[in-house]
Amino acid sequence: MQSAPVSKYRPFPPVALPNRQWPNRTLTHAPIWCSVDLRDGNQALAQPMSVDEKLEYFDLLVKVGFKEIEIGFPSASQIEFDFCRRLIEEKRIPDDVAIQVLCQCREDLIARSCAALAGAKHIIFHLYNSTSPAQRQHVFNASRADVVAIATRGTAWVKQHTATLAAAGTHVRFEYSPESFTSTELDFALEICEAVTDVWQPTVENKIILNLPATVEYATPNVHADQIEWMSTHLTRRDRTFISLHTHNDRGTGIAATELALLAGADRVEGTLFGNGERTGNLDLVTVALNFYTQGIHPGLDFSDINHVRDVYERCTKLEVPPRQPYAGELVFTAFSGSHQDAIKKSWAVQKSGAPWDVIYIPIDPADLGRSYKAIIRINSQSGKGGVAYVLENAFGFQLPKLMHKEIGKLINDRADAKGTELSADEINAIFRREYLEQADAPVVLQHFKTTERDSAVMCEAAMTFSGVVHALTGTGNGPIAAFVRALAATQLPKFDVLHYSEHSLGSGAEARAVSYIQIKTERGLTLYGAGIDTNIELASIKAIVSALNRALAK
């Protein structure tokens, strides 16, 4: 970092708004919601969703209650085009849901997008071009007039090409985004929005959507609110306009910026579930919607089974919802502090049915989201996998891989359910060790293992007991694990592949040991973990394989 004084960065200029109204307003109703998960969110994934995953995700968005869903950029690729066609031709879109597509201001791309939309009942055509001084100067080498001409020509082309769709019975709506709005001079943002509106000619019954994106978040939330209020009060056809927000989270204040901008007059919000998006992400629609709910305002979106929403999100995006993510994270209804647990317990005991929610430390009833309060360290049959993993890590040092949490969590919960009482930390540790590490009376026992390197390959020699007989095994691979797996493949034991491996040290200094966790998948499709401990990291991983193999045989 630059030492003080900092000259490398400049404060974002304030908005001249002497009579601002938004600080004195109160939110009284939810905005129009638009999910951009399948476009803005999907383009930010290291591994974009497959068509089947996008279909599952679309169905989830419909189930949650979104009435406007941006499904993609059909002119950008054949995959995007085909996905749009499949939604329409397979009649997957409810009559009250509008699909939205994004497009640049080029006639060929606009025509291609309209071809993808043929037969849809309700569409929003989203046109955009960049407007900020930096974009004009460094990317497009264009003047203000040039940029306005790009936007108005594009709007005219949209109007021309969507006329055919409208004639065939499609309800067409139009959205325009001056990309990088918050970095654009307000007078120019107003000028280009007015010029686009002149061309489109919206009505009170079919309003234009002016989406004013914080494409990169540079300013504090109050400045964003000032920008939105300035635009809202200067538009000449405000009664024929929906002002839409599209905040990003570069400064970590996208939610606050959105809520203040709604106070400033915005009507509509674009974002994604759990904030997936480029860089630090888009606006988290789940958090904003449930923030409304905690203020007594129904958001019009249904998150009563938030665990299911999270599961579909994680499966389709290959991302994980952080454990501290508001409302949906594994640990957000968890108290580790004994004093917090006591306060929650006492205030919950006097919480009356139908009375305003007032439980200390818990701002929303977890049951409204299909969840429950968890007092971690006190583990019972209602406790979650995150709590079990917390106990094993903080009390005993086992840093379980996240994929292993569900597996061990079920074992602990089943034991607690059978016992009918809470389990102590020592009981949890004992169950974990019996299942993964000690495995008394296991059918497969490792007697001996050693490796040698030869010609960039590793050869292993192992002695193992199974079926009551000692077997000598050999195998070669690019490492000890690969060599051992090949050696086992020559036996009558179940065949398997190694899916995941992780390890860490347990303790420190001369007494430190290595712990390995290995996930395998058998030829019958069974997926499970094994664990091993040894002072030798190589041997710990081999023990983990034997552990997983014994667990597979037990099942």
Q: Are 101 and 126 spatial neighbours (Cβ–Cβ below 8 Å)?
A: yes
Q: According to the model, what pLDDT value does residue 337 have?
A: 67
User: C-alpha angle with apex 541: 538 to 543, nearest 5 degrees?
Assistant: 110
Q: According to the model, what pLDDT value does residue 380 have?
A: 52
Retrieve residue 367's tokens: 């049951």
Residues 307, 371: Cα–Cα separation, whole Å: 8
Q: According to the model, what pLDDT value does residue 389 have?
A: 80
Q: How far is CA 292 from the centre of its chain?
A: 20
Sketch out the chain's domains with CATH numbers. Answer: 33-317 (3.20.20.70), 337-373 (no CATH), 375-438 (no CATH), 445-554 (3.30.160.270)
Nearest Cα neighbor of 408 from 400, 416, 417 is 400
Determine phi and psi for 543, rounding to 5 degrees: -60, -35
How far lies 56's CA from each of 122, 232, 526, in Å? 20, 37, 24
Q: According to the model, what pLDDT value does residue 387 have?
A: 67
Q: According to the model, what pLDDT value does residue 342 have?
A: 76
Nearest Cα neighbor of 502 from 383, 403, 376, 381 is 403
Q: Which residues contact 345 (CB under 8 A, 6 or more apart)?
A: 375
Q: Strand, helix or coil at 400?
A: coil
Would you write out the chain's pLDDT as a tens digit for each of its 555 residues? 989 999 999 999 999 999 999 999 999 999 999 999 999 999 999 999 999 999 999 999 999 999 999 999 999 999 999 999 999 999 999 999 999 999 999 999 999 999 999 999 999 999 999 999 999 999 989 999 999 999 999 999 999 999 999 999 999 999 999 999 999 999 999 999 999 999 999 999 999 999 999 999 999 999 999 999 999 999 999 999 999 999 999 999 999 999 999 999 999 999 999 999 999 999 999 999 999 999 999 999 999 999 999 999 999 999 999 999 999 998 898 886 657 877 888 898 899 988 999 999 999 999 999 998 765 544 554 555 666 787 888 789 999 998 898 898 888 888 877 887 777 888 989 999 999 999 888 999 999 999 998 888 999 999 999 988 999 999 999 999 999 999 999 998 999 999 999 999 998 777 789 999 999 999 988 999 999 999 999 999 999 999 999 999 988
How far lies 254's CA from each of 231, 281, 293, 342, in Å? 19, 9, 18, 34
Q: What amino acid occupies position 265?
A: G
Q: According to the model, what pLDDT value does residue 382 have?
A: 52
Residues 535, 512: Cα–Cα separation, whole Å: 7
Retrieve residue 272's tokens: 């994604």
Maximal CA-CA distance, the chain? 88
Helices and strands, counts by H and E, the chain: 16, 14
Task: Sort strands 268-271 and 32-35 into parallel, antiparallel or unpaired.
Answer: parallel
Q: What is the pTM of this model?
A: 0.72
Cβ atoms within 10 Å of 465's Cβ, excluding its own: 14
Q: Are 498 and 519 spatial neighbours (Cβ–Cβ below 8 Å)?
A: yes
Write b or e for each residue in 498-537: b if 16 or more Cβ atoms lie within 10 A of its Cβ, otherwise e.
beeebbeebeeeeeeebbbbbbbbbeeeebbbbbbbbeeb
Q: According to the model, what pLDDT value does residue 338 have?
A: 59
Write b or e for each residue in 295-312: b if 16 or more Cβ atoms lie within 10 A of its Cβ, otherwise e.
eeeebbbebeebeebbeb
Q: According to the model, what pLDDT value does residue 251 have?
A: 96
